């Protein structure tokens, strides 16, 4: 710590001679995270014994934004000017980062948030977290000026909130026979009674929630509850099967929208939820609903007929709109995942865009508020380092750098609708995250990157400087007892993905004998010969994905000697990515008459759980202009992903 102070004084001595102020990105000196709007560095430091002298001044009305502040440090001490209490609170968070060895450098900081919503999502359904754990995360969130805690309280894996009107939600739907989600999911997915031997689960009492909400409020964090509907509700429907289309438990995960008792249940539950959570928004889920049951349900079909609904998408929209009107009648607003756009969006509803950003942009264009949380940048359940060294995750690769570079405001967004872009959120789904320590490891430091995106101006962001500051931030978190990812031991991206590859087929024309799958086009027809090697995840725009065989022919331009042909595939069985069953490699001089060089058979079991890579290649000695590479889709009928066809 003394070293840091010496560095500040040394910098002051060599730079500020003859100058009173230095307008610069002084956060590189002060290590402030997230980066403030403006830092004016001054010569000298304020020294104090005990606590520093801090004077709070209320800004005149209209002169400052909500959550903004001015922090001044001089020989008299610290002055904090703020429009509201939240601004003063965030000024104190900055002040804590400035203090070192009872000294604070003279400076003047003007700061305010870029977005009003800066959130973190907690999936407490798959694996239950204690109130103490959530409070601990609130402490860390506040350090980095985050202000929304999104609690995913209900899902198939367990109901986590006391509801007086429906006691079976916590006596039965909150418990399961297996401890881990994976064991439960692989079994019969049934539930257990509270107190049953071996039952795993838990729920929050109303007093616990009141305590949590109060604690969060003291840290200027709003707690937003999520009650899933119409899907992801298996636990509710096991406890109250009369709310299903069939009337039987364990038959579906979606409420029967044609049943008036469904709305009585949801409205009663939401009444108790809104009594506990004073948040502006109530999250109602709305994602991944399987609507097949509704197509066969007499009650749902009658509802569609009575309401003039043309399909089950509009039936879901009917439900969302009806619930939204009810919530709004209580003075609140609803927010849901971007699937609530299907069939038409309820007036006043906000959208949380996770399947990319398109849903959010569509909602903005319609005049709805939006929170951006695209899975490619904000889903922290992916591995943050080389998967072979990381704890279990859902798969994929989302390092700190990839989280940090996300820019929420895209050029294609309508300029006159940008006020509807409320902010960003970090999401952690916990199917594979069993322990509290594992959860913290996944959150930090990637959540800090999202915090800076939400607070700081985009021109202030700098990846290399952020990495330096993030290292210091996680040292501080670790000293406070947090389990964080070790940035100092980071392995990084797949080595070949960093360097690329030069070979005979690089830049050559590729003819596709099967169409490219629209979801994973990568670089289109240039993908297999661009010299760019895929990284740890199939979603990095380097791997090209197919739900069919991959069958391509490469034109080398002229007949030449071919000694090697090969390509690398990946397997990750969680999202359904498999090795090909075999690969045929063929060559031709004229592009019409092909000779089979070899067939390379797969020897990787389809049950192998880890992320695996395999080269399907051959060494040969032939002359050819055309090389055909035909990979046969796995018997598991999942995706094939290939990054490059290498010819040498």
Please list the active-site residues. 155, 232, 288
Instruction: Write the CA distances from 386 to 402, 501, 535, 571, integer angstroms.
Output: 14, 20, 9, 15
Q: What gap in Å lies between CA 546 and CA 576, rounded to an integer? A: 11
DSSP-assigned beta bridge partners for residue 73: 78, 107
495-503, Cβ contacts within 8 angstroms, sequence gap of 24 or more: 496/533, 497/532, 497/533, 497/534, 497/535, 497/536, 497/540, 497/542, 499/533, 500/531, 500/532, 500/533, 501/531, 501/533, 501/644, 501/646, 502/531, 503/531, 503/646, 503/647, 503/648
What DSSP designation does 515 have? P
Q: Taking the alpha carbons of 402, 405, 411, 414 in that order, is the dihedral positive or negative?
A: positive
User: 416-428 b/e with 16+ CB inside 10 Å = b?
Assistant: ebeebbbbbbbbb
Residue among 106, 87, 118 at smallest CA distance from 47: 106
Residue among 305, 122, 309 at smallest CA distance from 223: 122
Residue among 218, 213, 212 at smallest CA distance from 88: 218
Q: In what order do the strands lie in the sheet with 54-58?
A: 21-23, 38-47, 103-111, 69-74, 77-82, 54-58
Q: What gap in Å lies between CA 644 and CA 499, rounded to an integer? A: 14
Q: What gap in Å lies between CA 405 and CA 388, rounded to an integer? A: 24
Q: What gap in Å lies between CA 395 and CA 537, rounded to an integer? A: 8
List of residues 6+ apart from 342 with CB closer than 8 A: 313, 316, 317
List of residues 6+ apart from 225 with CB closer than 8 A: 151, 153, 161, 273, 276, 277, 279, 282, 283
Would you call 71 helix, strand, or coil by DSSP?
strand
Q: What gap in Å lies between CA 91 and CA 71, rounded to an integer? A: 6
Residue among 463, 484, 462 at smallest CA distance from 473: 484
Q: Taking the alpha carbons of 199, 205, 211, 214 in that order, is the dihedral positive or negative?
A: positive
Torsion angle of alpha carbons 187, 156, 208, 454, nearest 10°?
A: 120
Strands (E), 143-208: 148-152, 154-155, 158-159, 175-176, 200-201
What DSSP designation does 432 have? T
Residue among 134, 94, 100, 99 at smallest CA distance from 113: 94
**What are the tokens at 348?**
């006043």
Residue among 526, 525, 567, 520 at smallest CA distance from 539: 520
- Check: CB of residue 251 under 8 Å from CB of residue 233: no
- Check: CB of residue 365 under 8 Å from CB of residue 349: no
């Amino acid at each position: 710590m003394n070293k840091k102070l010496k560095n500040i004084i040394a910098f002051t001595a060599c730079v500020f001679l003859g100058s009173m102020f230095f307008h610069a990105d002084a956060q590189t000196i002060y290590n402030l995270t997230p980066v403030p709007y403006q830092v004016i560095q001054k010569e000298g430091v304020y020294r104090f014994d005990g606590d520093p002298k801090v004077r709070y001044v209320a800004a005149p009305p209209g002169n400052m934004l909500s959550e903004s502040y001015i922090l001044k440090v001089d020989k008299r001490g610290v002055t904090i000017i703020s429009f509201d209490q939240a601004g003063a609170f965030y000024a104190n968070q900055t002040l804590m980062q400035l203090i070192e060895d009872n000294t604070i450098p003279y400076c003047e900081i003007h700061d305010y948030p870029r977005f009003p919503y800066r959130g973190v999502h907690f999936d407490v359904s798959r694996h239950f977290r204690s109130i103490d754990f959530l409070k601990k995360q609130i402490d860390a969130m506040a350090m980095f000026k985050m202000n929304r805690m999104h609690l995913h309280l209900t899902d198939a894996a367990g109901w986590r909130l006391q509801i007086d009107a429906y006691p079976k939600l916590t006596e039965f739907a909150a418990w399961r026979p297996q401890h881990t989600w994976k064991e439960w999911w692989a079994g019969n997915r049934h539930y257990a009674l509270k107190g049953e031997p071996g039952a795993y689960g838990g729920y929050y009492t109303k007093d616990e929630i009141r305590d949590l909400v109060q604690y969060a409020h003291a840290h200027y964090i709003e707690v937003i509850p999520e009650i899933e509907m119409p899907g992801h509700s298996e636990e509710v429907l096991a406890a109250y099967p009369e709310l299903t289309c069939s009337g039987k438990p364990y038959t579906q995960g979606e409420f029967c929208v044609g049943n008036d008792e469904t709305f009585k249940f949801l409205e009663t539950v939401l009444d108790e939820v809104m009594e506990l959570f004073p948040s502006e928004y109530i999250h109602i889920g709305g994602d991944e609903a399987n609507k097949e049951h509704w197509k066969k349900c007499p009650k749902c079909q009658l509802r569609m007929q009575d309401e003039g609904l043309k399909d089950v998408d509009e039936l879901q929209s009917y439900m969302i709109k009806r619930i939204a009107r009810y919530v709004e009648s209580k003075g609140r607003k609803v927010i849901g995942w971007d699937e609530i756009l299907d069939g038409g969006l309820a007036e006043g509803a906000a959208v949380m865009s996770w399947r990319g950003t398109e849903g959010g942009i569509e909602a903005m264009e319609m005049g709805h508020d939006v929170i951006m949380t695209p899975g490619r940048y904000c889903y922290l359940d992916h591995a943050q380092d080389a998967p072979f060294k990381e704890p279990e995750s859902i798969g994929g690769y989302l390092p700190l750098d990839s989280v940090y570079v996300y820019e929420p405001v895209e050029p294609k967004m309508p300029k006159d609708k940008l006020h509807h872009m409320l902010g960003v959120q970090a999401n952690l789904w916990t199917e594979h995250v069993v322990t509290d320590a594992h959860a913290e490891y996944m959150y930090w430091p990637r959540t800090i990157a999202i915090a800076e995106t939400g607070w700081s101006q985009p021109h202030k962001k700098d990846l290399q400087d952020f990495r330096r500051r993030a290292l210091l931030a996680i040292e501080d978190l670790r000293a406070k007892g947090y389990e964080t990812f070790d940035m100092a031991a980071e392995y990084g991206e797949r080595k070949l993905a960093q360097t690329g590859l030069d070979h005979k087929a690089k830049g050559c024309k590729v003819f596709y004998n099967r169409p490219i799958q629209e979801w994973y086009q990568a670089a289109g027809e240039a993908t297999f010969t661009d010299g760019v090697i895929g990284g740890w995840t199939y979603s990095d725009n380097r791997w090209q994905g197919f739900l069919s065989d991959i069958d391509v022919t490469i034109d080398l331009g002229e007949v030449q000697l071919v000694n090697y042909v090969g390509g690398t595939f990946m397997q990750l069985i969680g999202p359904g990515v498999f090795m090909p069953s075999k690969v045929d490699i063929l060559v031709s001089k004229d592009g019409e008459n092909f000779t089979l060089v070899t067939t390379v058979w797969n020897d990787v079991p389809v049950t192998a759980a880890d992320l695996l890579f395999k080269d399907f290649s051959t060494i040969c000695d032939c002359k050819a202009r055309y090389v055909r590479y035909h990979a046969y889709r796995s018997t598991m009928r999942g995706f094939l992903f290939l990054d490059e066809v290498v010819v040498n």
